Amino acid sequence: MPPRRFSSAAISRRRFLQTSAAIAAGLASPGCGWTLAEVRPADAKGDQDKLGIYTWESYIDPELIQTFRTQTALDVAYDIYDSNEVMMATIRSGKGTNYSVVYPSDYAVAEMIGKKELLRLDKSRINGLENLMPEFQNSAFDPNNAYSVPVSWGTTGLIYNADELKIDITDWSDLWNLKQQLTRRMTMLADMREVMGATLKSLGYSYNSDNPAEIQQAYDKLTELKPALATFTTDAWQNQLIAGDYLLCMAFSMDAVSVMQENPDLNLRYVIPKSGTSLWNDTMAILSTAPNLDAAYEWINYMLQPAIAVDITKRLFFATPNQSAYDQLPNPLRNNQSLFPPEAILKPCERLTNLEPKIAELYDRYWTRLTSK
């Protein structure tokens, strides 16, 4: 028998023993643990004619994919997520190797850069970055768009039925002022950070407060409001606001604008509370494990085309950060202050930032207490 065969068998066997020992050690013995949810690049390259995209539901539709296909002859397969945390958990579970392009929001971009999950963009392969509005060319979460390209932005605010309410809603404090009158006819988002942030803001604190005393104060204030709230929901308020069951709902601007556009006969209004709110910004980024880099750059370039940005703003109602697209928008949309609020209104607004684990736990405890009383 040739010795080569022996040695290769021995190696593979030794490797097998090492691997199983490592698994056993990770499972059993403390001290030499394994790393939770570590992402490793896949060995196999995927189908080069197909681009995997992982995005929010509101950012993609068949028309968008069809136009991309006719322009580039590339096929798109996409999946949908409904929170940054779900997206990041999916990617960390190893499923991310199917996708090349993801759409993380501002704070998630920062977290993913920190965990080396995003690819540093090769600017020579991207056309049209200069079309972005100046404030989107150098964001604090990703200076100089090194890893991400902004695709939309928006605010969190209040939408209400002005015919029924007959008062002008101007600030978060109106929720508390109206709690007798609107008992069980108001909703807030099913989003811990947004609800706590809005309450903190109404108390004059930061949307991202990490001061335990302030967080406690916000919790106390929320418990006063809670009996008057019908529910915490991110989407399910829409039909009931239209039907008149709910009169005042906390909502993301793009959802509010699309409900208002689809129901022009109702006197619905969206306001950005004057004490300030959260300003969010969703981006496109390429995963460090992307199986199809060429197609990923093609997609980003495609989305940066002003004509495409105009098209999706008209169809999907989200605010484009693309200056030349904004300039081409039809007047009613361009002057829509819910979609493109003036600078003065945006001044007191903040972006959500990542919380220290300890502070995040504190938020979570108060939130659990609030929603289980």
Least distance to another protein from the beta carbon of 355, Å? 7
Q: Which residues contact 354 (CB under 8 A, 6 or more apart)?
A: 107, 110, 111
Nearer to another protein, 186 or 304 (CB): 186
Query: Which of residues 36 and 344 has its CB atom nearest to another protein in the complex?
Result: 36
Least distance from C-beta 17 to another protein, angstroms? 19
Please, which residue, 61 or 361, has the CB nearer to another protein?
361
Residue (of 251, 299, 259) closest to 60 by Cα position? 299
Instruction: For another protein, give the closer residue by CB, 7 or 371.
Output: 371
Q: Shortest approach of another protein to residue 180 CB, angstroms? A: 16
CA distance 148 to 138: 10
SS (H, E, C) 217-260: HHHHHHHHHHHHEEEECCCCHHHHHHHCCCCEEEEEHHHHHHHH
H or E element, residue 216: helix 212-225
Cβ at position 84, least distance to another protein in Å: 10
Alpha-carbon distance of 282 to 289, in angstroms, equals: 20
Which CB, 188 or 312, lies closer to another protein?
188
Backbone φ, ψ for residue 311 (5° rounding): -55, -50
Least distance from another protein to the Cβ atom of residue 337, Å: 30
| 71/263 with CB nearer another protein | 263
Of the candidates 280, 283, 284, the residue with the CA atom closest to the CA atom of residue 254? 280
CB 190, min distance to another protein, A: 7
Site of interaction with another protein (CB under 8 A): 26-27, 30-31, 33-38, 83, 85-86, 88-89, 92, 115, 184, 190, 192-193, 226, 229-233, 236, 239-240, 243-245, 355, 357, 360-361, 363-365, 367-369, 371-373
CB 51 within 8 A of CB 98: no
CA angle 280, 95, 14 (to 5 degrees): 140
Please count the residues of the chain.
373
Q: How far is the CB of 86 from another protein (least distance, A)?
A: 5
Q: Which is nearer to another protein, 93 or 337 (CB)?
A: 93
